[in-house]
Chains A and B, each alone.
Chain A
């Protein structure tokens, strides 16, 4: 449904992305992993219309498209949940959910918006006591839920989640992973940026590894081990993660390194 070919982006002298290819099909969860500075966030920003690529082509539903603005991404049906969530703290939950896409622009339909908000939040089994408080009053996990709920509002075809579970508790992480699965069942394409190997193994179909702004391997989650992914991320079989695992193994620990600390 969405495919990137040869995407490149430089910031001054730094090549943040070089020749990136990525494909997402409907009903597929693609995990994009990579170390800090691998270009994951830049990729997200290109897809969501924050930055424009310097080179390469984006094809969406077999049309070559240009994503100059966030609004354009939205119109195409690409929704993004940013790591910093991009919520307005002075507005309440309903206002944040419907920001930029309010119902009845000249006489806001607050009742319909609030009803719809509750539907969305219930669907995500959100633990938010009231939607009429400013977002400043919510906890990190609650804000994450609001941000994900907002991305669902426009019935997007592709959802990009930038580290969706980084700030969440155990139960909330499970909720988000459930949600990702539900999105896949509904035929949406999901791009999940993450550091968490457990999440990758849990929900992703395909793992794309970025390293220093380049593609460094595309794996099917079913037949790849965490070791292989880590090796691709760090660029070496003999990496610091493997060394640690080996050390702990020697000490008598049967170290399964699933769920690397991120």
Chain B
């Protein structure tokens, strides 16, 4: 449907008929559009990517071990529990709310898991299910308080932060720490289960293939409907870039232990959330509520149900994170989910480009933001720096991310982008 395809065709796609539109064809057009968006403050993932490169460069100079395959494998594994929590935070931030209690909820779910699995001798799946149920119940409780009494989520979850920490300590009882056996499937999954190298490459090829096929089918559907669509070179380039990029990462990780199944689970969750947020009615409702609650309500969206779903989802992700953290540590103790877990999860979401003002952000942001946070943490640990400095640096990075968010928001407003 492009006029450039052949000189005789003069039909223009339905969406490109306005004479004010500048023609942007093929690869060059795609790049130009990208630059244009960045200039007007619609930065997307660019600041995170740049930040990551800077952080990695600095840390590599300070300690040559940092970018070693072994350390990166460790980094991917360590990032999963809090990353899953960050995924929940992204959803809550998208509707313009906040959850400050993910750490406590994860600690409580870890405690429940350990007590049921070790103390009560429940089968591991039963204990996991119960731990996840804790998350669902907590989220439901939050949403009821929020919807019925209109208490700000900030306050509800601040109360939850303290309340569920108390409950965690109560559940753990006098022992204070419960070890999970190393031979259990759960601990094995979090520590020793790695994807065989051949399978990891299969994953990469499948990912690139799926990206290409879905893009191709979508483009064909659009052309049939008389709309403009991505050209074949763009689709091929995109898939090839993914193939090479992901392939390199996997190859490098495979130099030592490889890609952990737990990390695969994280990526799968990110992909699922990305689909839910961008391709379903529920996802559009989430963005709408975050962008203009009143407009969403008038459009017939059940705003309370959206809030409920998001709070439940966030707390459930927190519980999943708690289970994974306990599995990774092979223990649940009084400090599970305390300390910087909360703020790391929120920082990861914000660094990943999710706006604190609601209505902007993506699931991939949680993944990228978490890698940034974990890189800092891992790098500073390698340097034998004390946790005091780690806290300070993480805080500074979070502040920087929020500043970038605020500034780009202002720039977007002045350039007429939401």
User: A interface vs B, CB < 8 Å?
Assistant: 48, 50, 69-71, 74, 80, 82, 85-91, 95, 98-102, 105-108, 111-112, 114-115, 118, 127-138
Are B298 and A137 in contact, CB atoms less than 8 angstroms apart? no
Are A105 and B280 in contact, CB atoms less than 8 angstroms apart? yes
B184-192, B235-243, B283-291: which lies at the A interface? Answer: B283-291
Question: Can you list 15 pairs linking A and B with CB atoms under 8 Å apart?
Answer: A70-B297, A70-B300, A86-B298, A89-B291, A89-B418, A91-B287, A99-B299, A105-B280, A105-B282, A107-B280, A115-B225, A118-B14, A118-B15, A127-B18, A136-B417
Which residues from chain A contact B292 at a C-beta distance below 8 Å?
86-90
User: B interface vs A, CB < 8 Å?
Assistant: 14-15, 18, 20-21, 218, 221-222, 225-227, 279-282, 284-285, 287-288, 290-292, 294-302, 359-360, 412-413, 416-418
Write the nearest CB–CB distance from A168 to chain B, whole angstroms.
19
Are B288 and A99 in contact, CB atoms less than 8 angstroms apart? yes
Who on chain A is nearest to B359 by CB? A90
Are A70 and B222 in contact, CB atoms less than 8 angstroms apart? no
Are A105 and B281 in contact, CB atoms less than 8 angstroms apart? yes
Write the nearest CB–CB distance from A155 to chain B, whole angstroms.
15
Q: Which of A88, A108, A114 contacts B296 (CB 8 A)?
A: A88
Q: Which of B281, B298, B413, B417 contacts A70 (CB 8 A)?
A: B298
Which residues from chain B contact A101 at a C-beta distance below 8 Å?
299-300
Which residues from chain A contact B287 at a C-beta distance below 8 Å?
88, 90-91, 95
CB-CB nearest 9 A-B residue pairs:
A105-B281, A90-B291, A134-B418, A100-B299, A90-B418, A136-B418, A88-B291, A86-B295, A71-B300
Q: Which of B280, B297, B416, B418 contacts A91 (CB 8 A)?
A: B418
Given contacts A91-B418, A136-B417, contact A106 B280 (CB under 8 A): yes
A134 to B409, CA, bound (A): 14
A87 to B298, CA, bound (A): 9
A21 to B280, CA, bound (A): 42
Are A132 and B15 in contact, CB atoms less than 8 angstroms apart? yes
A99-B296, A118-B14, A137-B416 provided; 20 other pairs, C-beta below 8 A? A50-B298, A70-B297, A71-B302, A85-B295, A90-B418, A91-B291, A95-B287, A99-B299, A100-B296, A102-B281, A102-B284, A106-B281, A108-B281, A127-B18, A130-B18, A133-B417, A135-B418, A136-B417, A137-B417, A138-B416
Given contacts A108-B279, A130-B18, A136-B416, contact A115 B227 (CB under 8 A): yes
Q: Which of B20, B221, B222, B294 contacts A86 (CB 8 A)?
A: B294
Which residues from chain B contact A74 at a C-beta distance below 8 Å?
300
Main secondary structure of the interface of B (DSSP, over half): helix
Write the nearest CB–CB distance from A129 to chain B, whole angstroms.
4
Are A114 and B15 in contact, CB atoms less than 8 angstroms apart? yes
Are B296 and A90 in contact, CB atoms less than 8 angstroms apart? no
Are A131 and B300 in contact, CB atoms less than 8 angstroms apart? no
Are B281 and A91 in contact, CB atoms less than 8 angstroms apart? no
Who on chain B is nearest to A135 by CB? B418
Q: Which of A129, A136, A138 contacts B21 (CB 8 A)?
A: A129
Write the nearest CB–CB distance from B133 to chain A, whole angstroms.
25
Which residues from chain B contact A70 at a C-beta distance below 8 Å?
297-300
Main secondary structure of the interface of A (DSSP, over half): loop
Are A108 and B291 in contact, CB atoms less than 8 angstroms apart? no
Write the nearest CB–CB distance from B93 to chain A, whole angstroms.
13
Are A134 and B15 in contact, CB atoms less than 8 angstroms apart? no
A48 to B294, CA, bound (A): 13
Q: Which of A99, A111, A128, A134 contacts B417 (CB 8 A)?
A: A134
Are B291 and A111 in contact, CB atoms less than 8 angstroms apart? no
Q: Which of A69, A89, A91 contacts B284 (CB 8 A)?
A: A91
Write the nearest CB–CB distance from A71 to chain B, whole angstroms.
4
Write the nearest CB–CB distance from B99 to chain A, whole angstroms.
21
A69 to B280, CA, bound (A): 23
Which residues from chain B contact A138 at a C-beta distance below 8 Å?
416
A128 to B302, CA, bound (A): 29
Which residues from chain B contact A128 at a C-beta distance below 8 Å?
18
Given contacts A74-B300, A106-B281, contact A91 B227 (CB under 8 A): no
Write the nearest CB–CB distance from B395 to chain A, whole angstroms.
28
Which residues from chain A contact B413 at a C-beta distance below 8 Å?
136
Write the nearest CB–CB distance from B242 to chain A, whole angstroms.
21
Write the nearest CB–CB distance from B147 to chain A, whole angstroms.
15
Are B298 and A48 in contact, CB atoms less than 8 angstroms apart? yes
Who on chain A is nearest to B412 by CB? A136
Who on chain A is nearest to B222 by CB? A111
Are A99 and B294 in contact, CB atoms less than 8 angstroms apart? no
Write the nearest CB–CB distance from B295 to chain A, whole angstroms.
4
Are A111 and B280 in contact, CB atoms less than 8 angstroms apart? no
Which residues from chain B contact A105 at a C-beta distance below 8 Å?
280-282
Write the nearest CB–CB distance from A117 to chain B, whole angstroms.
9
Are B20 and A129 in contact, CB atoms less than 8 angstroms apart? yes
A219 to B126, CA, bound (A): 73
Are B279 and A107 in contact, CB atoms less than 8 angstroms apart? yes
Are A88 and B18 in contact, CB atoms less than 8 angstroms apart? no
Are A114 and B227 in contact, CB atoms less than 8 angstroms apart? yes
Who on chain A is nearest to B289 by CB? A88
Which residues from chain B contact A87 at a C-beta distance below 8 Å?
292, 295
Write the nearest CB–CB distance from A84 to chain B, whole angstroms.
8
A54 to B291, CA, bound (A): 31
Which residues from chain A contact B281 at a C-beta distance below 8 Å?
102, 105-106, 108
Which residues from chain B contact A115 at a C-beta distance below 8 Å?
14, 225-227
A50 to B297, CA, bound (A): 9
Which residues from chain A contact B14 at a C-beta distance below 8 Å?
115, 118
Which residues from chain B contact A80 at a C-beta distance below 8 Å?
298
A129 to B288, CA, bound (A): 23
